[in-house]
Amino acid sequence: MLIEEIQSYNNLELLAKQVVEGFITGLHKSPFHGFSVEFAEHRPYNPGESTRNIDWKLFARTDKVFVNRYEEETNLRCRILLDLSSSMYFPEKTLAKLKFSVLAAASICSLLQKQRDAFGINTFDSDLQTQTPIRSSLAHFGEVMRILQALWDTKTNSESKKQTNIARALEHTALSSHRRSLVVILSDMFENGDDEESIWRSLQHLRFLKNEVVLFHITHKPAESELDFDDRPLKFIDVESGEQLIVNPSEVREQFLRESTELDNRVKQRCLQYGIDFYPIDVSKDLHQVLTPFYIKRMKMG
């Protein structure tokens, strides 16, 4: 599913469940066959534990050893951080970055709900805007969906110049979350100001507390990474600072691409250094680029 194909859907919860069901069905044809249908009901068998709860029928079908998972066994805690700064409302006509990220967050919550894992969501721009508890109940799932539904219903960026303070949001998460949680970040990483190191210090703090961190770097690649605009002078406006620049894209494209690539490589290298899972996301493509790595990460955490 591409984001432009589903923006007319009004019910986010139903849409997220459809996305997840389609994703799980697709796992039948993938190397992860065997996890798919039983995703919420089983976990891999760990050598040395009792064989009492092995699902032998599942073993006969898949030739893989799983045990029945009981609710008290499922103790993963996941905190999702969703960036709502003005740059996430790009492109203005479609709000594709925001819509994609909201649907990604809703789909991850739906996957976690099926797994009976506990989850919560933080939304932020220059300050923390929303923070839910981390719970696994159906009522909590409904509350998170109501928050995300309000964002899904957004038609325009009504508040211009909403700047970003990613470091503050990360630091708040580090101080308020349980240790050994899974922290998922959906952000374009356009930080206000030049203190990039503050972001990395906050990410280091999360890792120091034994949290697993997954960073989905949200971009609209044709426009933001490839500068795919008409070959004529255009006015570019920084939606967070209001700064304006008139330039012909063809005259700066080569330098822009070079510097964009250098930035991406620098972020990837730092994430590798700190043990952070980094995934560049192009919102002009389908949602599986988020769900597949998230799913693999969740299964690795047991």
Give the pLDDT of residue 93. Answer: 83
Q: How confident is the model at residue 158 (pLDDT cuts 50, 70, 90)?
A: low
Q: How far is residue 270's CA from residue 273's CA, in Å, rounded to a whole number?
A: 5
Q: How confident is the model at residue 40 (pLDDT cuts 50, 70, 90)?
A: very low
Give the pLDDT of residue 33. Answer: 46
pLDDT in tens, 122-132: 999 888 899 99
Most confident by average pLDDT, 4-18, 33-47, 157-171: 4-18
Token pair recorded at residue 63: 């030739």
Share of the chain above pLDDT 70, in %: 85
Instruction: Please state the rounded mean pLDDT for residues 256-261.
Output: 82
Q: How confident is the model at residue 91 (pLDDT cuts 50, 70, 90)?
A: confident
Instruction: Please state the rounded mean pLDDT for residues 211-219.
Output: 95
Amino acid at 96: A
Please give the mean pLDDT across all residues of the chain.
83
Most confident by average pLDDT, 162-166, 230-234, 238-242, 267-271: 267-271
Measured in whole angstroms, the distance separating CA 106 from the mean position of its chain's CA atoms is: 10
Domains of the chain, residue spans: 74-300
Give the pLDDT of residue 36. Answer: 39
Q: How far is residue 30's CA from residue 40's CA, in Å, rounded to a whole number?
A: 18
Class of the CATH-defined domain 74-300? alpha beta
Q: How confident is the model at residue 151 (pLDDT cuts 50, 70, 90)?
A: very high
**List of residues 6+ apart from 302 with CB closer than 8 A:** 43, 44
Give the C-alpha distances (Å, rounded to integers) separating 140 from 15, 43, 55, 173, 298.
18, 24, 30, 19, 20
Q: In terms of pLDDT, which residue wins out, 194 or 48?
A: 48
Give the pLDDT of residue 221. Answer: 83
Give the pLDDT of residue 29. Answer: 60
Q: In terms of pLDDT, which residue wins out, 200 or 230?
A: 200
Give the pLDDT of residue 145. Answer: 97
Instruction: Please state the rounded mean pLDDT for residues 254-268.
Output: 84
Helices (H) and strands (E) in the chain, counts: 9, 10
pLDDT in tens, 61-83: 888 887 766 544 456 899 999 99
